[in-house]
Amino acid sequence: MPKLLKTIKIEGKIKTKSGLHIGGMKESFKIGGVDNPVIRIKIGENELPYIPGSSIKGKIRCLLELEKGKDKPCDCNNCEICMIFGSDGKDKSITRAIFRDAYIINSLGEDTEIKPENRIDRITSKAEHPRFIERILPEKEFYQEIILNIFEGDNEKELLKVLKHGFELLEKSYLGGSGTRGYGKVDVSDIIKNIEEKLK
């Protein structure tokens, strides 16, 4: 086991730029509600939407792997992707990055909308019954924290650069479901700037 040398705290805001849907438990909603609610967490008397750290971590890892032409999770144990996100290979690598859940900052009670989605049969042009999907509204901000553990022998700057690039790819892609239908555009420039400060 290599020696842990330091931990780097990376933080910043994730801002939604279009409706964002990360699914939650339907049972937690009232009868007659939406077909696909967003995931929520109970804080005090309120149930607030949030972005699970696993969703952010998984999406960024996937985008980095796709860029390298990999169609399944890398398990080489040697590349920066495996070092940052961990590996399920024969010799499991140490996961360097801890992605915390991202909690809403500017909740005003109206944090979500219900959007009806129709599926059109391309042969008959007939619309099926609409499904009602809950989405987090645009311009909502969430606080994100990542802890990057640096072990003996690690190239700190290279790991930070890969993580920064992953967030840059996320801005060009989408977070959550239905991204090809316009959902999930996010602004993570605040986090990217924070990583850039660590690289100076």
Give the length of the chain: 200
**Per-residue pLDDT in tens (0 to 9) along the chain, 200 residues:** 789 999 999 999 999 999 999 986 655 445 455 668 999 999 888 889 999 999 999 999 999 999 988 777 777 777 899 999 988 666 667 899 999 999 999 787 789 998 877 666 667 666 666 778 899 999 999 999 999 999 999 999 999 999 999 999 999 999 998 888 889 999 999 999 999 999 98
**What is the set of domains in the chain, with CATH numbers?**
4-199 (3.30.70)
pTM of the predicted model as reported, rounded to 2 decimal places:
0.86
β-partners of residue 42 are 47
Question: Smallest Cα–Cα separation from 147: which of 2, 4, 30?
Answer: 4
Contact yes or no for 127/4 (Cβ under 8 A): no
The alpha carbon of residue 103 and the mean position of all alpha carbons in its chain are separated, in whole angstroms, by: 12
Report CA torsion sign: 60, 62, 63, 64.
Answer: positive
Is the CB of residue 12 less than 8 Å from the CB of residue 170?
no
Euclidean distance between CA atoms 147 and 96, whole angstroms: 8
